[in-house]
Structure 1
């Protein structure tokens, strides 16, 4: 094989059917890698049942291989090593879980389950336990933000240095023809928040702050996009009343074209999450020129602090004041996000250093 050229097994387990944001990250890293380093031979591992559905969406020249074990973590840990040997790959690039006994780069999305286990169900904690138990066996570890890299290092001293490669919005959102969600027929003025309905997203505070502004009601609702996940948000009586009154609209999951319409037309985006590994929705909103009120937490100071208004996510009055001020200010200029090619190139650079040196990458 030519100098510098690699044959790489890439984790695509979620490509066709998985958590939407995680699936998007897998797809765009593969596509960016294929664009920036066409000399490499890429093999994507996907569930065998999804091979045909995935085949028409992968870049030209990229190979597919089917895996059969479930769920994702079990397949990565126990099946990917034999797959790597069978296809003759030099290194595996996986998500969250490290494959046993082969050279690997692990993209670890976050270790919030270590920092705040109370936000996760017992079943989630049990499933995620091998993530950090096997992490020291990875040849290199990367993640999406410098903030999360430092948390992984702090919580997992045996892992060593973790590299931040960044991530970006789904590029399809900028090119899809936007479609108004049916649930918002006739609604042209609204405030938006996007995220799974769980305790970490702190939606109760976002709803309370939005209502307290006096600016939110059936004529200008707070639109909440996302489905239930893990430990629920535990809405209080005031939030439940706002939902019943139509001041808050819960859409559940929406199609990508509908999400594009929401970002393009929202008067304001609110995101008061208690913590994130990266937190993509406010980055997406800013890329559409939608002003953002978000949590004053470490990762947002890093990723959006220069472009968004950051507030204490537990201070309802401060959040309400920020929402009121940003609504009066109006929409902003779009903020250019990181390019996926840059993230993919950083990931490939990490894998190449591991392959050629068989050592952990700084």
Structure 2
């Protein structure tokens, strides 16, 4: 039996949790389903998903304490099976881990995370990857970082790309359903660079168009200047978190998707937009260029003038929108959770 650390079921869904949930769905649809068991803390947040994936609650603690204490005790009672960890962490005192590291953002900037968070992950990440049986990551760009920064052998690191949820594969909306807004989807934190996007949108001055920002916003305003930029503007709408159904509707009707992140492991929102036939303008950073290839338009995420000019050009060019839409749709076909599941099964069962 292979066990999966399903602590992610206790966390709000961002890109990391989406990867874990969708990959587990793919695994549980496979012929190996009866050889795979998810285990989770008792404080599950996503109860319907836990039920769907047949996650087994174990222990009494939550968070890191559950992961570091309750989970290893349970596994030892089951004969020390292989444990698959899908969300950047693993039990330090357990020696049969497969560990997924989505990125090494804690090493990039001291401004992106709290001191405590950054210090914790900078301390534990080298330990868990060095002890792991295998390390999984979501792009060759991050694989190179893992090899170079943490001194891992290349053959120890397996790349498994993210996929696109079935929600986004239900068909491309007709062009006449498009509305006059630009969309971004992001867990809002400093590395997502929302402030530069807002400034580029304001500077572009595209008439009769709004900017819709989807994502948690509780911590973004503190000292960022974003609140000051947005205040009093009716054309910039902070929508917070939305349901999957509402997310699908907003993707499907957007005229342009813009994602100016400073650092990514993969960049799921770009691929979701591409799969919906939405033209994409995004950052010219290595992992995004690997994933999106020539199917999107690129800018320097720190160059507000360049981003502003490209927003204006794309909004004003039906031809450019159609061209990117076609290229994006074709590129997005490479990313399916079925393919990710097949790669994970091959890693787990060597078949």
Q: Into which bin does the TM-score normalised by the smaller protein fall?
A: 0.7 to 0.9
Distance (Å, rounded) in 2 between the aligned partners of 1:208 and 1:56: 41
Q: Give the conservation status (yes or no) of the 8 Å contact 1:91–1:105.
A: yes
Among residues 57, 62, 65, which one is paired with 1:70 in the alignment?
62
**Is residue 197 from structure 1 mapped to residue 226 from structure 2 by the alignment?**
no
TM-score, normalised with respect to structure 1? 0.83
> What is the SS of the residue equivalent to 1:188?
coil
**Is residue 103 from structure 1 mapped to residue 89 from structure 2 by the alignment?**
no
2:5: which partner in 1?
A: 11
1:118: which partner in 2?
A: 111
Distance (Å, rounded) in 2 between the aligned partners of 1:337 and 1:25: 16
Q: Give the conservation status (yes or no) of the 8 Å contact 1:97–1:135.
A: no
2:299: which partner in 1?
A: 311
Tell me how large the CA RMSD over aligned residues is. 2.8
**Is residue 45 from structure 1 mapped to residue 36 from structure 2 by the alignment?**
no
Matched residue count:
333
Distance (Å, rounded) in 2 between the aligned partners of 1:114 and 1:51: 29
Q: State the Cα deviation string for residues 188-222 of structure 1 (Å, max 9, x = none).
A: 31000111221111111111111222205xx3111
Q: Give the conservation status (yes or no) of the 8 Å contact 1:120–1:231.
A: no
Among residues 335, 338, 347, which one is paired with 2:335 in the alignment?
338
Alpha carbons of structure 1 residues 68 and 132: separation in structure 2 relative to 1, 3 Å: farther
Alpha carbons of structure 1 residues 56 and 273: separation in structure 2 relative to 1, 3 Å: closer
Instruction: Decide which moves more: 86-95 or 163-172.
Output: 86-95
Map 1:82-97 onto structure 2 (within 5 A): 82-88=73-79, 90-94=81-85, 95-97=87-89
Shift of residue 325, structure 1, vs aligned partner = 2.0
**Is residue 286 from structure 1 mapped to residue 274 from structure 2 by the alignment?**
yes
Instruction: Decide which moves more: 78-87 or 220-229.
Output: 78-87
> What is the SS of the residue equivalent to 1:106?
strand
Alpha carbons of structure 1 residues 231 and 157: separation in structure 2 relative to 1, 3 Å: farther
TM-score, normalised with respect to structure 2? 0.85
**Is residue 169 from structure 1 mapped to residue 133 from structure 2 by the alignment?**
no
1:223: which partner in 2?
A: 212
Q: State the Cα deviation string for residues 216-245 of structure 1 (Å, max 9, x = none).
A: 5xx3111111113767585448x7344412
Shift of residue 137, structure 1, vs aligned partner = 0.9
Distance (Å, rounded) in 2 between the aligned partners of 1:284 and 1:233: 29
Shift of residue 102, structure 1, vs aligned partner = 3.0
Q: State the Cα deviation string for residues 99-157 of structure 1 (Å, max 9, x = none).
A: 32331110112111023233111122133232333321111100111111111221111
Alpha carbons of structure 1 residues 49 and 241: separation in structure 2 relative to 1, 3 Å: closer
Unaligned runs of 5+ in 1: 1-6, 179-186, 357-362
Alpha carbons of structure 1 residues 49 and 214: separation in structure 2 relative to 1, 3 Å: closer
Q: State the Cα deviation string for residues 247-289 of structure 1 (Å, max 9, x = none).
A: 2111111111111011000000011111111111111111100
Shift of residue 18, structure 1, vs aligned partner = 3.0
Shift of residue 23, structure 1, vs aligned partner = 2.4
1:182: which partner in 2?
A: none
